[in-house]
């Protein structure tokens, strides 16, 4: 009988440290206190004005904390940065800086890196998540943010595209057929603050459950998180989730999938998946992401 080879036991604390930072991923259209969500306020008796952004401010550490706003995803970065400057100022944040990265060369700017080194909070605005990954991927600015998230008590937030880009895999297209046709959902590597998690935003408003299901069926080891508008998750220790806001968070768990034909059918055909689990979570709910500790980072 062949002796079974002993498998190395990994020290997750050493080789895959539990992040000391926190992530705040928002589904887009978060309330900024200017009646943007008046219809929601009228219908939802639990609606709290500016709940999500107020929580971001409350999570900042230190006296006179610095918030760095990163509008890279937007094609109108000046405009969107000013919007967040205004709302954070109203919420009592006095120390604000704009990280105006519009091209890859800007992500090597030492001044921007110094700001990111000092920031207590970082805010990625909405726009196009592919702009974020293609401009920031592999640059000193992104590596600094990821290092600080891993080893320091910082909060990193993103809304809409800024939230979608936080995870890997990252969905960046999939509207043509609602996502039920193989090949209609396009996926790439995100910013990798979270691995084996796919985040999608405007989830219920834009009917994105099917495209998320296709993404998860291609690799059931990933967990799908669908964030509705004015809804967010606060992630601590890399996998502990708290739900905030006025909508729902949809969790798509494919680990128990018993069958899918996604690898058998041709591009352009509808796919099948069976025994995929879906959870719907409202404000105050807590959820532990069933993801494995990374054996390498």
Q: Which residues are part of the catalytic machinery?
A: 160, 202, 229
Instruction: State the distance between the two ends of the chain, measured CA to CA, in whole angstroms.
Output: 36
Phi and psi at 201, nearest 5°, equal: -125, 175
d(C-alpha 184, C-alpha 151), whole Å: 38
State the CB neighbour count (10 A cutoff) for residue 258: 8
d(C-alpha 125, C-alpha 106), whole Å: 17
Give the distance from CA 219 to its chain's centroid: 18
d(C-alpha 289, C-alpha 239), whole Å: 5
d(C-alpha 184, C-alpha 170), whole Å: 14
State the CB neighbour count (10 A cutoff) for residue 276: 19
Per the CB < 8 A criterion, the answer to whether 202 and 208 are in contact is yes
In terms of Cα–Cα distance, which of 109, 117, 85, 114 is closest to 98? 85
Going from the C-alpha of 206 to that of each of 185, 194, 203, 227, 255, the distances in angstroms are 14, 24, 6, 11, 25
Beta bridge partners of 200: 226
């Amino acid at each position: 009988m062949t002796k079974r080879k002993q498998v190395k036991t990994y020290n997750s604390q050493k080789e895959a440290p539990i992040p000391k930072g926190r992530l705040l991923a928002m589904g887009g259209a978060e309330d900024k206190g200017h009646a943007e969500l008046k219809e929601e306020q009228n219908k939802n008796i639990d609606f709290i004005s500016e709940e999500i952004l107020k929580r971001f401010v409350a999570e900042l550490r230190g006296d006179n904390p610095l918030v760095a706003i990163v509008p890279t995803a937007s094609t109108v970065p000046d405009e969107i940065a000013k919007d967040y400057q205004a709302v954070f100022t109203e919420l009592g944040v006095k120390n604000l800086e704009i990280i105006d990265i519009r091209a890859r060369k800007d992500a090597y700017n030492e001044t921007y890196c110094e700001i990111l080194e000092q920031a207590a909070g970082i805010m990625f605005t909405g726009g196009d998540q592919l702009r974020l990954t293609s401009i920031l991927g592999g640059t000193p600015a992104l590596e600094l943010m990821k290092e600080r998230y891993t080893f320091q008590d910082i909060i990193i937030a993103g809304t809409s595209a800024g939230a979608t880009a936080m995870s890997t895999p990252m969905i960046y297209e999939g509207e043509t057929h609602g996502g039920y046709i193989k090949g209609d959902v396009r996926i790439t590597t995100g910013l990798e603050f979270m691995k084996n998690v796919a985040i999608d935003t405007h989830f219920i408003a834009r009917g994105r459950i099917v495209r998320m299901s296709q993404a998860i069926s291609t690799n059931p080891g990933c967990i799908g998180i669908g964030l509705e508008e004015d809804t967010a998750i606060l992630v601590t220790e890399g996998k502990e989730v708290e739900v905030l806001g006025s909508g729902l968070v949809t969790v798509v768990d494919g680990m128990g999938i018993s069958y899918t034909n996604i690898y058998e059918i041709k591009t352009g055909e509808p796919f099948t998946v069976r025994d995929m689990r879906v959870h719907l979570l409202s404000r105050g709910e807590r959820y532990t992401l069933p993801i494995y500790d990374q054996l390498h980072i």
